[in-house]
Amino acid sequence: MLKTRILTALVLLAVCFAALFYLPPAGWVMFATLIAAVAAWEWGKLMGFGATARFALGLAFIVICGVIGFVQPAALGLADGFVDAAWCLGRWFYLPAAFFWLLVVPLWMRRRWALPKSAFGAAIGLLVLLPPWLALVQLRQVGALALLAIMATVWIADTAAYVFGRRFGKHKLAPTISPGKTWEGALGGVAAVVAYGFVLAPRLPAALANHYGVLLVVLVVLTAVGIVGDLFESLLKRQAGLKDSSNVLPGHGGVLDRIDSLTSTLPLVALVWLAPWL
């Protein structure tokens, strides 16, 4: 199992890095769409859909992304005028996503709502997956290195939370959802992300780079939202009686298992980064 996990991780890193740094804009859009479509297919499993319905959900996601690209190519970096078009389109995705992750999901987890096995559940899936898809596409236009640095925020938080949790963890964060997570680990993740963010501060938008208090709040919120995204998927899997969202990544589970924190953080990063007031 360990060899399989390591081999899968190496292949994933090679494929993702090659796509991130070498694909043209259209190729990156298709790559991001494929990842998100697999995640949509897995979302159908969380809803208890059969094979045909899950395939239809993944296909519908591809069609929706294709329509967005056809109607708003500039907003995806496929035509001139990205700077102006990005926010005009993005605000309709990132603002609802921020509302969902900051207000709805904490209440959802507190009340232990079940994921509806209906069109409403599929609509929630679109709200979870479409904004991070768009953020992946638009933030890559800022620069491949910038997007990599943004995603590294989640990886650093996860790694630090694991290390601090193993070393100092005594108080469970959400024992009925994810028994391994602790408050000490979460605080360690926050500390690591804050340190990382302040190191990168000179390369951030001026509204953040020149105001450390604002930057601190943003970093803490992003880390907290990443934890919420992780816990939210864990709750849905537990309710569905699943250990992993799928087995498409040997040794790692499914795509949703690997991007759960990114689904919540990427839209908020794009909201902060692309908003015209910054």
Per the confidence metrics, is the pTM higher than 0.85?
yes
Q: Is the pLDDT assigned to residue 180 strictly greater than 70?
A: yes
Query: According to the model, what pLDDT value does residue 276 have?
Result: 77
Q: Is the pLDDT assigned to residue 6 strictly greater than 80?
A: no
Q: How confident is the model at residue 278 (pLDDT cuts 50, 70, 90)?
A: low
Question: Residue 115 in contact with residue 47, Cβ under 8 Å?
Answer: yes
Q: What average pLDDT does the structure give for the chain?
A: 91
- List, for residues 216-252, the tens digit of each pLDDT value: 998 999 999 999 999 999 999 999 998 888 888 877 7
Query: According to the model, what pLDDT value does residue 277 have?
Result: 64
Structure tokens at 74: 């500039």
Query: According to the model, what pLDDT value does residue 2 have?
Result: 56
The amino acid at 237: K
Q: How confident is the model at residue 94 (pLDDT cuts 50, 70, 90)?
A: very high
Q: Is the pLDDT assigned to residue 202 strictly greater than 90?
A: no
Q: How confident is the model at residue 175 (pLDDT cuts 50, 70, 90)?
A: confident
- List, for residues 32-79, the tens digit of each pLDDT value: 999 999 999 999 999 999 999 999 999 999 999 999 999 999 999 999
Question: Can you give the three-state secondary structure of the chain, one letter per residue?
Answer: CHHHHHHHHHHHHHHHHHHHHHCCHHHHHHHHHHHHHHHHHHHHHHCCCCHHHHHHHHHHHHHHHHHHHHHCCHHHCCCCCHHHHHHHHHHHHHHHHHHHHHHHHHHHHHHCCCCCCCHHHHHHHHHHHHHHHHHHHHHHHHCHHHHHHHHHHHHHHHHHHHHHHHHHCCCEEECCCEEEEEHHHHHHHHHHHHHHHHHCHHHCCHHHHCCHHHHHHHHHHHHHHHHHHHHHHHHHHHHHCCCCCCCCECCCECHHHHHHHHHHHHHHHHHHHHCCCC
